[in-house]
Amino acid sequence: MAFGLTLSELVRLVDGAIVRSGSGCALTGVASLDAAASRDISFLGNEKYRNQFLTSKAGAVIVAHGETGGPEATGLVAVDNPSLAFSAVVRHFAAAAGLLTPGVHPQAVVDPTALVDRKTVRIHAGAVIMAGARIGDGSEIGPNAVIGEEVVIGRHCRIMANVTIRERCLLGDRVILQPGCVIGADGYGYAFHEGRHVKIDQVGTVEIGDDVEIGANTTIDRARFGKTVIGEGTKIDNLVQIAHNVVIGKHCLIVALTGISGSAQLGDYVTVAGQVGIVGHVTIGDKATLTGRTGVTANLAGDETYAGKPAQPLREDLKLQAHVRRLPKLIERVKALEIALRQPP
């Protein structure tokens, strides 16, 4: 109950406006519209859930300005962005769980030459911090994570369980690495010589900006030389492959199972949906959006939405797909013409 909120406290927390007071129960948790009970806070962020909203048993629902519907017993709080406001509520309830307890577990392995302030950093059991690595204040290294030689990690980062960061890679502040992701594996580069693929040494690094998050089991390869770059604020989903020398701008979104080949460059605010493939050495402009499974084989201008393989503006791709779907009708029309022509005049 320590975290319990009244409806007025909820309004202050999300900087919203009361639309309806509802039953006035203390609010002690969060839940989805269909699962919520009288002490739960929920939200309506997508019209798909309107039916659930109309019959919800939630104590309070966060809605967009203008919304006045739903059950009488349910309090309504209006905000600009219900999804964002709800996340503030979730943070409120999750606050206690998120507090970092500093300390180095006795079964962690920290090289004596690593720079770690044991008063502000938390290192879990089984983590291995190698020679010359530096961990910024307030950062957390998860169980069995491996931090390579001379890696530099900024402040307030969360490196989760079983992550691998190879030698000399650099992370900014507040970077989150989900479990199992691999930063700085060798780029995929070989020279063909006398019938064999000879490995080209990959002596560059990876540089990750502030506020980047990288998903579980995603892989980001080190540069051949120079660096692979993930710009500030970019968020990468699970199982994404980023090849050597790729440069990704600021505040991009890259969804699961996408592959970006060597030396490709993405601008800022680029959105890449799932299972997209991007060939090497191309440039994609700021604020471009690639819809699911787009295949990029050439440079793309920014401020445009793309689809298909090879990628073209979404509206062109939709037209072409419509033409293809109408092929059976076209064949009928040609058949009719053939019959007409063969008929005696």
Beta bridge partners of 219: 182, 241
Question: Residues 25, 235, 305, 314: which binds a second copy (CB under 8 A)?
Answer: 235
Residue 159 in the binding site for a second copy (CB under 8 A): no
Beta bridge partners of 250: none
Question: Beta strand 312-313 with 305-307: parallel, antiparallel or unpaired?
Answer: antiparallel
3-class SS at 260?
strand
Residue closer to a second copy, measured from CB, 71 or 295? 295
Residue closer to a second copy, measured from CB, 21 or 198? 198
Q: What is the DSSP letter of 44?
A: -
| Count of CB atoms situated within 10 Å of the CB of 40 | 21
Helix axes 7-14, 82-94, angle to 10 degrees: 110
The distance of closest approach from Cβ of residue 133 to a second copy in the complex, given in angstroms and rounded to an integer, is 12
Residue with tokens 């994609």: 284
Q: Which of 151, 158, 175 is nearest to 235 (CA)?
A: 175
Residue 157 has which token pair? 């980062």
Residue 54 has which token pair? 């109309």
The secondary element (H helix, E strand) that includes residue 184 is strand 182-185
Question: Residues 125, 286, 301, 313: which binds a second copy (CB under 8 A)?
Answer: 125
Binding map of a second copy across residues 250-279, x = CB under 8 A, - = no contact? -x-x-xxx-x-x------------xx-x-x
Residue 44 has which token pair? 């309506």
Residue closer to a second copy, measured from CB, 13 or 72? 13
Question: Residues 75, 215, 267, 285: which binds a second copy (CB under 8 A)?
Answer: 215
Q: Which of left, alpha, beta for 275 (phi over 0: left; psi -120 to 50: alpha)?
A: left
Question: For residues 58 and 74, is the Cβ–Cβ distance under 8 A?
Answer: yes
Question: For residues 90 and 53, is the Cβ–Cβ distance under 8 A?
Answer: no
Residue closer to a second copy, measured from CB, 105 or 134? 105
- By CB under 8 A, which span of 7-15, 50-58, 64-72, 326-334 interacts with a second copy? 326-334
Binding map of a second copy across residues 61-100, x = CB under 8 A, - = no contact? --------------------x-xx-xx--xx-xx------
The distance of closest approach from Cβ of residue 65 to a second copy in the complex, given in angstroms and rounded to an integer, is 16
Residue 161 in the binding site for a second copy (CB under 8 A): yes
Q: Which residue is catalytic, options 156, 193, 197, 244?
A: 244
The distance of closest approach from Cβ of residue 221 to a second copy in the complex, given in angstroms and rounded to an integer, is 7
Question: Residues 105, 132, 304, 305: which binds a second copy (CB under 8 A)?
Answer: 105
Question: Residues 55, 107, 113, 299: which binds a second copy (CB under 8 A)?
Answer: 107
Beta bridge partners of 165: 147, 183
Looking from the CA of 164 toward its CB, the CA atoms found within 13 Å total 13
- By CB under 8 A, which span of 15-23, 50-58, 59-67, 157-165 interacts with a second copy? 157-165
Helix, strand, coil: what percent of the chain each, to 5?
Answer: 15, 30, 55
Residue 249 in the binding site for a second copy (CB under 8 A): no
28-67: which residues touch a second copy (CB under 8 A)?
Answer: 30-32, 35, 46, 48
171-210: which residues touch a second copy (CB under 8 A)?
Answer: 176, 178-180, 182, 185-186, 188, 190-191, 193, 195-201, 203
| Count of CB atoms situated within 10 Å of the CB of 108 | 20
Is-catalytic flag, 244?
Answer: yes
Size, binding site for a second copy by CB under 8 A: 101
Question: Residues 226, 286, 304, 305: which binds a second copy (CB under 8 A)?
Answer: 226
Q: Which residues are part of the catalytic machinery?
A: 244
